[in-house]
């Protein structure tokens, strides 16, 4: 006897609640943007802005506030200071600036300050990392490019697989690379360049009628913005681990969307003369719902274990993945598929280009 999370034949009205989902998603994105503006940007870690990361334990614990005061009096600027460990005597400190400048001297100065205050032999250094500001800036640029190009490759893949528009995909890439090159001639920053590229990507998908790609890409951007926004609300540091989590979230969210898209395409080919497209998409979502819940549920259980048992170093990584998996699962149901429906309705007057329909036949829509 097989185990069923969702009773076969269930018909939850996901598509009927799509506008409510759009409003909730819009509010979450708005809150995310406001949070980033309020905090005057993201809280970048040592990986991206340079500085010293120091993890150490003390024989006699003075407390987090006392340690912060000690560093401040020593002329150091502390980005963050976390207290963890079973006995609460271990600390993870991010030092962005110090009285002796950059390089190894910053590390030596910080250790000298601690030895002076607590005495030789009272401090055990567990981890020490130093990143220069130029290296941090380079890493920041590469991280943005990694996120953007992963999304770009996904667009090409979805448009080719689901819509058989490999030629149009080649045109899309040519247009995008041309625009990026022209904009880069003005010497704009990487952030502005990526933003312009994303706008051009969405517009090009719209013009070239990449229905599946448009739904998938908006869902992915939605997931990245909300995950980043929640980290901004919590004032968490943005590190290389966070970027790794974002790339994982993009892949995970895409997987959920592709499962639903595959079922929509199958049902479209089988039932193109039965019912309207909204009912067909809703039916497809319901048919894949059990698999979606099982996949996401087991992933969330593993991430919860990592968050609570994996130690403080892995905690932010696990938190980002937890947020992304939940948001990504919901976006594949309430965002990607409804956007596909909205776009197909706009193409109702052009039956030959409609969703996987045979030549000369259009999908019946309301």
User: Pick the residue with more confidence: 27 or 52?
Assistant: 27
Give residue 52's region: left, alpha or beta (phi > 0; psi -120 to 50). Answer: beta
User: Does CATH number 3.30.70.330 belong to domain 52-131?
Assistant: yes
pLDDT at 324: 95
Residue 46: HSE in the Cβ half-sphere, 13 Å Cα cutoff? 22
User: CA end-to-end span of the chain, whole Å?
Assistant: 40
User: Pick the residue with more confidence: 9 or 213?
Assistant: 213
Q: For 86-111, what is each residue's pLDDT tens digit?
A: 665 788 888 877 776 554 477 788 88
Confidence of residue 154 (pLDDT cuts 50, 70, 90): confident
Query: How far apart are the C-alpha atoms of 143 and 153, rounded to whole Å?
Result: 16
Query: How far apart are the C-alpha atoms of 364 and 267, rounded to whole Å?
Result: 13
User: Where are any strands of DSSP class E within 7-160?
Assistant: 51-58, 77-84, 90-97, 123-131
Query: How far apart are the C-alpha atoms of 76 and 100, rounded to whole Å?
Result: 9
Q: For 246-264, what is each residue's pLDDT tens digit?
A: 989 988 888 888 889 989 8
CA-based nearest residue to 175, from 191, 155, 150: 155
Is the pLDDT at 317 greater than 70, yes or no? yes
Three-state DSSP state, 117: helix
Is the pLDDT at 155 greater than 90, yes or no? no
Query: How far apart are the C-alpha atoms of 74 and 99, rounded to whole Å?
Result: 8
Residue 75: HSE in the Cβ half-sphere, 13 Å Cα cutoff? 9
Percentage, residues of the chain above pLDDT 90: 24
pLDDT at 350: 55
pLDDT at 325: 95
Structure tokens at 6: 């969702």
Task: Output Rg (C-alpha) for the chain, integer angstroms.
Answer: 25
Given a contact cutoff of 8 angstroms between Cβ atoms, the answer to whether 176 and 152 are in contact is yes
Which of 32-41, 49-58, 265-274 shows the highest mean pLDDT? Answer: 32-41
Which residues are CB-contacts of 50 (< 8 A; sequence separation ≥ 6)?
Answer: 96, 102, 131, 132, 133, 134, 135, 136, 137
How do the domains of the chain map onto residue ranges? 15-43+135-167+203-353, 52-131
pLDDT at 84: 72
CA dist 155 → 160, 165, 222, 355 (Å):
8, 11, 15, 17
CA dist 34 → 21, 49, 261, 327 (Å):
20, 22, 33, 19
Give residue 169's region: left, alpha or beta (phi > 0; psi -120 to 50). Answer: alpha
Query: How far apart are the C-alpha atoms of 158 and 366, rounded to whole Å?
Result: 26
- Strands in 51-58's sheet, in edge-to-edge order, are 77-84, 90-97, 51-58, 123-131
Q: For 185-234, what is each residue's pLDDT tens digit?
A: 887 777 788 788 888 888 888 888 888 888 888 999 999 999 999 999 99
Average pLDDT over residues 289-316: 89
Average pLDDT over residues 144-157: 80
| CB-count burial class (<10 Å; 0-12, 13-18, 19+) for 104 | exposed
Average pLDDT over all residues of the chain: 82
Which residues are CB-contacts of 237 (< 8 A; sequence separation ≥ 6)?
Answer: 43, 44, 45, 79, 80, 94, 316
Query: How far apart are the C-alpha atoms of 343 and 167, rounded to whole Å?
Result: 21
Query: How far apart are the C-alpha atoms of 186 and 189, rounded to whole Å?
Result: 9
Homologous superfamily of domain range 15-43+135-167+203-353 = Multidrug efflux transporter AcrB transmembrane domain (1.20.1640.10)
């Amino acid at each position: 006897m097989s185990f069923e999370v969702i009773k076969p034949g269930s018909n939850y009205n996901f598509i009927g609640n799509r506008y409510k989902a759009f409003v909730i998603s819009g509010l979450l994105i708005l809150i995310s943007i406001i949070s980033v503006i309020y905090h005057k940007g993201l809280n970048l870690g040592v990986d991206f802005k340079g500085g010293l990361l120091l993890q150490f334990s003390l024989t006699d614990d003075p407390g987090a506030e006392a340690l912060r005061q000690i560093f401040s009096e020593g002329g150091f600027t502390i980005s963050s200071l976390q207290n963890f460990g079973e006995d609460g005597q271990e600390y993870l400190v991010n030092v962005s600036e110090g009285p002796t400048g950059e390089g190894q001297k910053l590390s030596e100065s910080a250790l000298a300050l601690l030895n002076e205050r607590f005495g030789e032999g009272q401090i055990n250094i567990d981890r020490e990392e130093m990143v220069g500001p130029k290296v941090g800036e380079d890493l920041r640029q590469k991280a943005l490019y990694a996120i953007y190009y992963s999304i770009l490759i996904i667009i090409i893949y979805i448009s080719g697989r689901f819509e058989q528009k490999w030629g149009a995909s080649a045109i899309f890439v040519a247009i995008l690379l041309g625009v990026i090159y022209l904009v880069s001639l003005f010497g704009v920053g990487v952030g502005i360049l990526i933003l312009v590229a994303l706008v051009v990507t969405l517009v090009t998908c719209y013009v070239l009628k990449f229905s599946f790609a448009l739904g998938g890409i908006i869902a992915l951007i939605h997931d990245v913005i909300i995950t980043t926004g929640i980290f901004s609300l919590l004032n968490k540091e943005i590190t290389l681990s966070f970027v790794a989590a974002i790339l994982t979230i993009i892949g995970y969210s895409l997987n959920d969307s592709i499962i639903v898209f595959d079922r929509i395409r199958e049902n479209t080919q089988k039932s193109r003369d039965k019912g309207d497209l909204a009912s067909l998409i809703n039916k497809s979502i319901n048919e894949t719902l059990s698999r979606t819940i099982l996949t996401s549920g087991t992933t969330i259980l593993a991430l919860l274990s990592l968050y609570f048992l994996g130690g403080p170093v892995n905690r932010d990584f696990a938190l980002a993945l937890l947020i992304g998996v939940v948001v990504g699962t919901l976006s594949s149901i309430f965002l990607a598929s409804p956007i596909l429906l909205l776009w197909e309705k706009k193409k109702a007057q052009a039956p030959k280009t409609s969703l996987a329909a045979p030549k000369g036949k259009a999908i019946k829509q309301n």
